[in-house]
Structures are given as structure tokens and as C-alpha cells.
A and B are shown apart, each in its own frame.
Chain A
Amino acid sequence: MTRPIRFLLGDAEVSEAAAPPTLTLLRYLRERRGLVGTKEGCAEGDCGACTVAIAEPRDGRLAYKAVNACIHFLPAVDGKQVIPIESLGGDHPLQRAMVAHHGSQCGFCTPGFVMSLFALYHRPGRHDDKAIKDMLAGNLCRCTGYRPILDAARDALGEPRRDRFDEAETATLARLETMRGEPPLDYAAAGGRYVAPRSADQLATVLAAHPEARLVGGATDVGLWVTKEMRELPLLVSTAEVEDMAYVRLAGDRLEIGAAATYAGAVEALSALHVDWRLLLRRLGSEQIRAVGTIGGNIANGSPIGDTMPPLIALGASLMLRKGGTRRSLALEDFYLGYRKTALAPGEFVEAIHLTLPPAHRRFAVHKLAKRFDQDISSVLGAFAFDVESGRVVRARLAFGGMAAVPKRAIAAETALTGQPFERAAIEQAMEALGRDFQPLDDHRASAAYRLTAARNLLLKAWLELQGGDSIRIHGHG
């Protein structure tokens, strides 16, 4: 049974039955609601001018996130509160602070900055400079150089904080709960359809019936297929509401990550395994991307420069694949068959990622290299797991992104290390061997020469850092 999309737009209840399912939230706001305060800067989720806040119930409270409306399909807001700049009214503490600190020049990026900060405003606790910069990494300003915006953020994010959205929280929760009493969204309009199952079983059933469906999580890549490539996607099935696939849990000696878990949802559990996960995930996309993008989506999308795969491969992760009621387990490194080609059968989907907890003697590091620290696609990403016993490498798993058509282990380098003392001489042998593992490409992100030299150096860097002492990264671990 299809039904309209129901959500709150600011304070107003909306029931939308006509918009095409792939209409972006940005275009909906601007073209169908006349709410033009939210801007299009790039239509690919990289500049943040389109940022709006979305609030949804979580553990009895409203949880706020900032999203890129330019690549957020409208049906994804079903059951949520959408808060565009107009809802703030013009006199919010953040807006006053932005004026007081001269935080706008041309003003085009300004609503997006305000809305990113608004999401942070509603996140409990004290927000230090690092948190503010993390929050703003997905918002580009070309005029100010950011200093006045950071000052405005520091000013407005002091404690205690309370605005009219906090005052209305109980009422808003009640209104959203009523909406969420509706059956799972199956939305059809303008020749397209969008299905958002709420359980893995429902998802399996839909995909079994419609193997042609395009599965999306946060749609942070698929959104561009629509905005940039103008592709027709007649049937979208979303994992975003699949509650029993959004988990991140310890099960015995295993960390299990549901394929619908967002980056933001998985960061704490992964960081508990190793601090490098925190640094990596902080640099993957932006807050807007991490709020909706999923690790399962990163894996299934199969890009050779996806950031989560090399460390997961180095740690020996496996995937739980499911088709209908049938499940199979597959090592992640065996999942990639070629450039953007995976082992998924029609109607099959990634249900979970399983990661055996590392043994005590495992030494691990991840290094991401890009032209820019924040929100940039990796030119090279190296993940290194060394199992060291009595000073010797008993097992090494080295996996790289950006070095081949798929995320790939460096078998020759691993071989060069295995059985050797965990010392510089062996590392240098392995660095040499990387030249046999990879023949990287020249492209706009990096030259082949840089990729290979940097990949070798990352291995050395990982080893150097594992010797203890100070961080040798320009941004440290902080």
C-alpha cells in the first residue's frame, strides 16, 4: 500500500503525494515550498550551502543532524522534522552571533553554516574548537577565511543553550511519534517508487521481489547519479529505516556492524578498537555525509577509493550477505571482483559486517592521504595490521585504497614481512615489495609516482609510530 510522505517542515505538518521520489529535499524546499534561503552551491554534497537540519526521535529525545539537502531524496525525511534556515526566524542566538562577529560577506554560504551549527547547538555538552571544525568541515566559505564564523560558533555554543526548538521538544516528539505510527513508507509518484522497509526481513522480501531495485543508504553517492548524471531510478529501496540493521554491537569476540549503521553511528565502537578509526572517520566525508552515509553503503558501492574497506580488509572483516532468507558469509577482500564490480548476486544485499576483535599482539594503523585534510577523497589510503610475537611478524595484512581498481591487499609486501623481525630493515623490504603489488594510476588526485612513494612511506610511518613516541602526523591524533 503506497502512502504519502509525512513529515514536519518546521512546525507545519506536511503530507506530500506528488513529488517524484528522487526529487531532492533542496529542490523541494526551493521550488515547491518557496523556501529559497537554502542554497545550491554544488549539487553534490561537497560545499554545504544546502545544509538543513533534520530532527528525529532517538531514545526519547530529538536527535538533530545536518544534512546536504542537495542530495537528500525527499522521501528520506518521512517521519522526521525538517528545519530549514527560515524556521529559525532570524533572531536565533546563532544568527545574532554571526552578525555580531561579521561572519557573512557574500552571504551565500551563510544559511548552510548556520544550520550546521544549529545541529551542533542541539548536541549536548561543550563543543571545543575541534568539534566546531569537525562540524564545519562540510561547509565551504570562499569569502571570510572562517575566523569570524568560528568566533560566532564559540560565542553561540556556550552553555546553557536553549531555544524554541528545545521548548517544543515534547510536542514535536509526540507529533513525530504519531507519524511514525504509519506503515513503512512505500511511496509512488510521477512514475517512480521509493520503499523504506523497517526490518531486514522486509528489506529481503522487497529485494527478492525486485532485484532491479536500487538500494540506497544515505544516498550520498546515488544522489549524484540524479543531480549530475540525470539518471532515472524508477525504484529505490532504502536501508535508512531498517531498524534491525542499524546496530553496532559486540557479540562474543566479534564486532558486528549492521549494514544500515551510519558512519556517525559506528564511530564510537570502531574507535574503541583503535584510535585511528576515529581519525579516519572524522575525515571521511563531512558531518552531513557521515550523518546519513553508511558503512554498508561504502562497501557495497565498491569504489576503489572507499575509505572503510582497506582497514576492514586489514583486520580480516567478513560480510554477511543475504538474499531472501538465505545468508552467506564472504571475506571482504573477496567481495571485489573488478572496478566497481562486486560479488553481490541480483536481489542480494550486504546485511552486516563482522569484525573479529583483534588479538592482543596485533599492531594496527590507518593512514589517509588526500590533497585536503577534511572531506576529501583519498589519493592513497593504507591500513596496516601486524601480528607481532616475540619481536617477529607472524602475520601481516596490508591493504590499500587508491592503488588499484579495487581496495586491495599488498601480498608481496605482506610476504616480505612475514617471519621477519618487526624492524626497519624488514619494513624497507616490504616498502620495496609494494612496487610489485601495485601499478597505480596517474589521475587528477595524484600521480602514479606519488601514490607509490607515499604508499611506501605510509608503511614506514605506521612502523615508526608503532615504535612509540610522539605522533608524527601534522594534525596529531587529537
Chain B
Amino acid sequence: MAEPAPAPPHESAWLHVAGAAPYIDDLPERADCLHAAIAQASVAHGRLTKIDIAPALALPGVVAVMLAKDVPGINDCAPIVAGDPILAVDEIVYAGQAVAAVAATSLDAARRAASRIKIAIEPMPAIVTVDRALAVGSFLTPSQTMTKGDAADGLARAPRRLEGTLRLGGQDHFYLEGQVAMALPREGGDMLVLSSTQHPTEIQHLVAKALGRGFKDVVCEVRRMGGGFGGKETQAAQTACIAALLAWKTGRAVKLRLDRDVDMTLTGKRHDFRIDWQIGFDDAGRISAWSVDLAARGGCSVDLTDPVVDRAMFHADNAYYLEHARIAGHRCRTHTVSNTAFRGFGGPQGMCAIEYAIDEVARALGKDALDVRLANLYGHGSRDVTPYHQRIKDNILPELMRALETSSDYRNRRRAIAAWNAAHPWLKKGLALTPAKFGISFTNTFLNQAGALVHVYTDGTVQVSHGGTEMGQGLNTKIAQVVASAFALDFDRVKVTATVTDKVPNTSATAASAGTDLNGKAAADAADKIKRRLIAFGAEHFKVPPDRIRFTAQGIEVGTRRLTFAELVGQAYMARVQLWDSGFYATPEIHFDRERQRGNPFYYFAYGAACSEALIDVLTGESRILRADLLHDVGNSINPAIDLGQIEGGYIQGLGWLTAEELWWDPAGRLRTHAPSTYKIPTARDLPEDFRVAFWPEANHADTIHRSKAVGEPPLMLAISAWLAIKDAVAATAEHRLSPQLDAPATPERVLLAIEDLKRRAKLPAEARS
């Protein structure tokens, strides 16, 4: 296993630590700048009967109030399927929905004014939960079913069967920088929008539509985000549109920065799921049939719920070969905030389903869950077709899991934990080793395209613009490395600019872990074009064959001469050679037929596995991860330090999702955990005390940029091992004779109530215990 090698730090690292890296709220405000605030509905479902803005307008400093009827263009900021009004029209569909927006000369005046807008709503019955939505048939879009073989028949024929229901909670992104946008009117009604967004092109489009203008009239720029995690893929649009609408209405610059509580009640989160599963297997633990219904709480609108549930379906096999599979995905419409993209994009929920079921299989058979996992992994050359009929050609999990089994000392620790548990009635330990196989590509094939623009200046320094956005994941650092390596330049000779829609148009969101794969290839394409031109120029100018021109760390070798890069480009400029170019990339080989649920949606897979050891308090349900060993596949890492950061950060974020972070709605459908005082993401103490991370040393089989692999999302799913380690510890309270029900997040409350449930079941007659 490879140790990460030294790597250049994040391109903004020195600015970050000095507090000198500006985010949108830090930028100088134009002299005419107004501040905006939003008035929100407080009921989950109802008819909007009256909005009284007079008390707001009466406050000093208030310049404008915006309602739906004032929108000059299209009052909708939905990404795909209409249904996300920027400001509510007549129906309120979730508590927290934006009804009106205020612009004022100060932030205080704007917020005070927004709080004084009187919103009258005639309440209507609200569907809050997935269970309720399923019961009444409330769906956003039609359910989809993916089939391979005959799951019903496979289940009927299986020697053994288990079934269950699992509930997985949602997750707030809790990017440290909340949603923010600044809209700056330009000549002729054009608009520049600075937005903290993962998808500047979509902001450009939605702002233009809201203003009733062409896309050519709007520019969106993003230099950096203070975290995104999927929460700024579509959810940045409303903030940007409101700022732009108020800027249009007032003719002044407008900044809208959401207060944390507003952010958390207004914007979408990771989908919570209800999962009903059935599994058929034999006495050896070999799975023959898998049938699962994945029902997501989509919330009040479609947003990205369709592809999120698609991805949950694509990952409900995780790493396992399923002869017979039926995987159904349901998109529930509820009167809650519209759920959205979040690192993993449904994949984690799909994986949790089968990992939980396999844990149940192992407990039913009295086997070590690792053995059941190993027995069911996809094979090489056989047993390698997924439920969506894609053949897996790059599977490394059998070797990777065996390597982790050894490096984590799994078997010995399993025995040691059993002995420890026997001696400790009030604390219990648990252990789990789980794999993750994550499909890389947008499952909507057309999104897999990217562009870049490379400028070589006559002093030999280089500027790169591309369609991806920097949210902390280190994309710009990697792109700079890619371009620097193309010209054999030092890292600090290359600068990646802010992402601006007037430099690279028609971009896809920076999402699906694909930022480096797509934009890196596009940037390399642009650099290659310039490089080819430089070589052609050099060959002609210096009268040497093109293959005698080489770009090296020591400079450009031209035959026996050596020039600096600056000298070469200086001379090329004088000879009127174009020193800048654009690049483009479209991922090859992928296609998917959604009607038939068949195809090759993924260019390749990223793999990993983790072994987590948990400690629980039998009397309180508190838990802690004592040790975690992660072995993850990043291909040839472009920047090992950045990749390590993604792996560690992903695991901890997944740990938060599965063990601590709880979104709690009251029965009326109001979110009551909407600030860090009540919504608890991990702290430094929640990091496993013994945390070992290693890279799998193998290049990507697919022809990606530098043969690297996407790393943004996959490591999050390594935290499934932590959740199942806690489940294992809970099972230890009943000497592993019964299997506990443990939904996520495994908060102290859920853990304790699972223990209490085991106690209750242990007292029942044997046949009634399951």
C-alpha cells in the first residue's frame, strides 16, 4: 500500500490561513449596494391568502420589496423540472418557503423588514413523512424499476430469506459559508452575479430567465466557495435569483447572504429514505436474490430527486453480484423542503441498504459479516454484470478487501473484541469491514462534457479557466498541476482563474466527483493544442525535427539548444503564433437507457473499503469510533495530499450522517434542528483516535487525466463501516444471539432504544424474537 507522497498545497492555502482568501461576503461593496433578506412561510402546506408588505416598506432604509408577481420573467429556479418558484405564488408547500424578499440600505433594516411582512396562510393538510407519502401515493415522478433475472422467483427458490425495513436520515450540508450572492447591474440591464455556486452556468440561465433576458446578458462568476458538498449545485440558484431580481428592481447592487437558520430551513438536504428489502441466500451466505424498494423523501419539488434516486438504485448492489435483482426507486412528494444533491447523491443510501441486509444475513447464519461480503463480491470475468447490465471490467475489490483485512488485523481484532466484550457488561465494542464501489460519470450522459481555456502569456506564465468550481476540494490545484505538467512548468507559473460563464460557457455542475476528470481533460486538451503549435513553431524556427523538441523541468530542449519556456513563447509570439486555446472533453463509452434501465452509465468505478471499530455505552447509547482503517482507490493520484483530505473528510462527513446529524421535523412539518446549536456535525474529538488511511496503488484502467480517479464522493461511503460497527456492538449486548434494528443516524437515542429492544425481544419465546 502506498503512502501519500508530498504534493503542492491547495492553491489558496496561504490565503486561507491568513484570512486573505475572499468569499463573496468579503468582497468590497459598491457604493450603491443594498442588502437583502427573505420572508419565509411558517406552515408546511397552505394557501397564501394575503401578503402585507406595508409594515416592511414603512421601515427606514427599506428600498424595495419583491413578490412573485413582480418577477419580470419566469418565477422558477428549478434545475430540470419546473416547480421551484423563486418566491411563492399562491400555494405554500413547505415551512420555510420564501414568500417575499426585501432590499434595504443595511442588513439589519432588511432583516427587520422581512420579519415584519405579514403572511396570511390558510393551512391545508400536510404530508410530512415518506410513510405518509407512500400511504397516500404522493409521488413527484413515476417510480422506476431495474430488473435482472427474476427476483420474485429467486427469492421463492432461495434456501433462506430475510426481509426488513430500514430508515436512513437526511443530512444538512453545513457548508461553513452559507448561501450568498451579489448581483451587480451593468449597462443596458445586463447583470453580473457573483454566486457561491457549484453550477455557474445554471445560475446564468436561471437569472436570465427570471429577468426575461437572454443568456448573453448575464454573467455568473465564482472564485471559491466556503464548502459545497452538493448543497450549492441547485440550491444556490434561489439566492442568486433573488439578489438579481432585487438588483433589477432597484437598479442597484444587491447582496443576499442567508443567515444560518434561514439557510437551513430554506434549502434542500440529503434525501432521507425508507428502504424495504428482501434477500434470498443459501447456508453459505451466497446471495441469489435481492429485492428492494428505495423510497426517498423528495420534498416539495423534483429538483434533483430523479437522478438521486437513480443513483441510489445504481448502488443498491454496492459491490455484490446479484443473480436476481429487482431494484425499485420511489420519489415521494412531501410538504418539506425539496431535497437535493449531497456528496454521494443517493449512492450512499443504496449501499446502506445492501450492506445492512448483508449484516442481517451474516447474523442469521452466525457468520462473520466479512466472510459473507467476500463470498458475494463481483468477480473477474464472471459474476460481473450489474443489475443495470453493465459489465464491471475494473474490479479490484477482492484484492483490496483482502489487503485491508490483513492490514487492519481484522481477524485478530475480532477475537480480541469478543474477549473484551465478555469481560465488559456496560461497554461493548463492535467491528465492521465494508467495501464501496462507486460509479463515476453523471448518469445523465449529456452532462459529461467540459471546456477549458488556457492562456500562455509572453512572460511564460499561464492562466487557466475551466468550467469547474473550487469549493475546497482542490480542483483548481489539480488543474494547475495538469497544465503545469503539460508544459513542464513549476506549479507557481500557472494560475487558475475564477470560474466565469463568459470565459467557458455551457458547463456542467461541479458534481458527481467528476470535476477533475472532466475539466482536467479539457484543460489538457487546450494545453496540448498550444504545445503542438509551439513545437511546430520551434521545429520551423530552429530547423529541427519536431521530435527533437522536448518540454522538461530544466526548460525546452530544442535539438541541442535549451530555452526557457518564456524564451520560446516570446519568440513564438513575435512569429505570430497563437498562444492561447480552448479545450473540450466528452467522456467516451457511456450510455444509459432509462426506460429499460439498462446500459453503461459509468466510465469506471472507484473502489475502497474501511474497517471501523466502535465502542458503545450500554446504559446511554453513546458511541465512539476507536479506530478506522481506510484503504481507498484514487488511481494515480494527481495530488496525494488533496486526495487524502477528500478521503478523510469524506469518511468523517459520512460518520456524521450515519451517527450524529439528525434532522428533526415536528409533527407540523417544521424543521427544529436548523442551526449548529441543535444540528451537530462532527468535531475534532469525533475523529477516530487511531485513523489509518492508505491508497490502493493501481492506475485507473480507464483513460482518465493522468490515470487518476475521482475522489470527491466515494470515501463518504466508507463510513458505512462505522455505522455497522456500532450495530455489531449493539448486537454484543445480546451476545450476538439477536440482530438489532439500527436505523441511521445511530444517535445515542437510537442505540439505546435498539439495546432496549433487544432486551425486550430476548424475553420473548424464541419464535417471536426476530
Contacts and interface: CB of A to CB of B under 8 A. Distances in A.
Co-assembled chains A and B: yes
Interface of A: 30, 36-44, 46-47, 49, 84-86, 88-90, 94-95, 98-100, 102-111, 114, 132-133, 136-137, 139-150, 228, 230, 367, 369-377, 379, 443-447, 449-450, 453-454, 457-458, 460-461, 464, 472-475
Contact of B427 (A104, A446, A460, A474): A474
Nearest to A20: B108
B659 to A, nearest CB: 9
B35 to A, nearest CB: 11
Contacts of A454: 619-621, 748, 752
B22 to A, nearest CB: 7
Nearest to A95: B17
Contacts of A133: 683-685
B427 to A, nearest CB: 6
11 contacts: A39-B177, A41-B178, A44-B675, A94-B17, A105-B10, A106-B226, A140-B176, A142-B176, A372-B683, A450-B752, A474-B427
Query: 9 smallest A-B Cβ distances: which pairs?
Result: A37-B19, A106-B472, A108-B226, A107-B16, A145-B652, A85-B19, A46-B676, A105-B472, A36-B26
Contacts of A150: 684, 687
| Interface SS majority for chain B | loop
B686 A230 contact: no
Contact of A43 (B115, B260, B672): B260
B645 interface: yes
Interface in B489-524: none
A43 B115 CA distance: 17
Contacts of B139: none
A64 to B, nearest CB: 18
B615 A141 contact: no
Contact of A107 (B15, B112, B426, B680): B15
A448 to B, nearest CB: 11
Contact of B18 (A37, A374, A450): A37
B176 A445 contact: no
A426 B620 CA distance: 20
Interface in B8-58: 9-10, 12-23, 25-26
Contacts of B621: 450, 454
B96 to A, nearest CB: 15
B226 A39 contact: yes
B175 A106 contact: yes
B268 to A, nearest CB: 17
Contacts of A39: 23, 25, 176-177, 226
A29 to B, nearest CB: 10
Contacts of B747: 371
Contacts of B677: 42, 44, 46, 377
Looking at A114, A230, A371, which has the most chain B CB atoms within 10 Å of its CB? A371
B227 interface: yes
A142 B653 contact: yes
Contact of B177 (A41, A46, A111, A458): A41
A82 to B, nearest CB: 14
Given A47-B176, A132-B684, 20 more contacts: A36-B19, A39-B177, A86-B19, A105-B649, A106-B227, A107-B15, A137-B683, A139-B683, A140-B176, A140-B683, A142-B176, A143-B472, A145-B650, A145-B651, A146-B683, A150-B684, A377-B677, A453-B756, A472-B617, A474-B622
Interface in B150-180: 173-178
Contact of B19 (A84, A149, A444, A474): A84
Contact of B174 (A142, A376, A458): A142
B227 A446 contact: no
Nearest to A372: B680
Contact of A374 (B651, B685, B691): B685
Contacts of B652: 145-146
Contacts of B259: 43, 228
A40 B652 CA distance: 23
Nearest to B666: A444
Contacts, number: 260
A472 B645 CA distance: 34
A382 to B, nearest CB: 10
A90 B17 contact: yes
Contacts of A443: 664, 672
A109 B683 contact: no
Contacts of B668: none
B664 A444 contact: yes
A46 B675 contact: yes
B577 interface: no
Contact of B17 (A43, A104, A145, A372): A104
Contact of A453 (B10, B175, B752): B752
Nearest to B178: A41
A444 B17 contact: no
Interface string B732-756: 0000000000000001110011001
Nearest to A38: B19
A458 B619 contact: yes
Interface in B634-664: 641-642, 644-645, 648-653, 660, 662, 664
Nearest to B649: A145
Interface residues of B, number: 86
Contacts of A109: 176, 226
A226 B510 CA distance: 37
B427 A472 contact: yes
B574 to A, nearest CB: 39
Contacts of B620: 367, 369, 454, 457-458, 461
Given A108-B23, A472-B427, A371 B753 contact: no
Looking at B12, B619, B677, which has the most chain A CB atoms within 10 Å of its CB? B619
B654 to A, nearest CB: 10
A98 B13 CA distance: 8
Contacts of B175: 106, 108, 142
Contacts of A143: 227, 472, 645, 649
Contacts of A144: 645, 648-649
B103 interface: no
B726 to A, nearest CB: 11
B426 A450 contact: no
A106 B224 contact: yes
Looking at B176, B617, B650, which has the most chain A CB atoms within 10 Å of its CB? B176
Looking at A37, A94, A95, A230, which has the most chain B CB atoms within 10 Å of its CB? A37
A445 B676 CA distance: 13
Contacts of B23: 39, 108
A56 to B, nearest CB: 22
A471 B683 CA distance: 23
A84 to B, nearest CB: 7
A28 B178 CA distance: 20
A36 B22 contact: yes
B681 interface: yes
Given A108-B177, A230-B111, A371-B660, A376 B749 contact: no
B673 interface: yes
B321 interface: no
A457 B176 CA distance: 36
Contact of B112 (A30, A230, A372): A230
Contacts of A102: 9-10, 13, 641-642, 644-645
A133 B688 CA distance: 12
A371 B14 contact: no
A472 B428 CA distance: 10
Interface string B233-265: 000000000000000000000000001110000
A137 B19 contact: no
A40 B25 contact: yes
Nearest to B7: A102
B42 to A, nearest CB: 15
Contacts of A147: 648, 687, 691
A146 B684 contact: yes
B14 A99 contact: yes
B221 to A, nearest CB: 17
Given A43-B260, A454-B752, A148 B645 contact: yes
Contact of B227 (A88, A114, A142, A146): A142
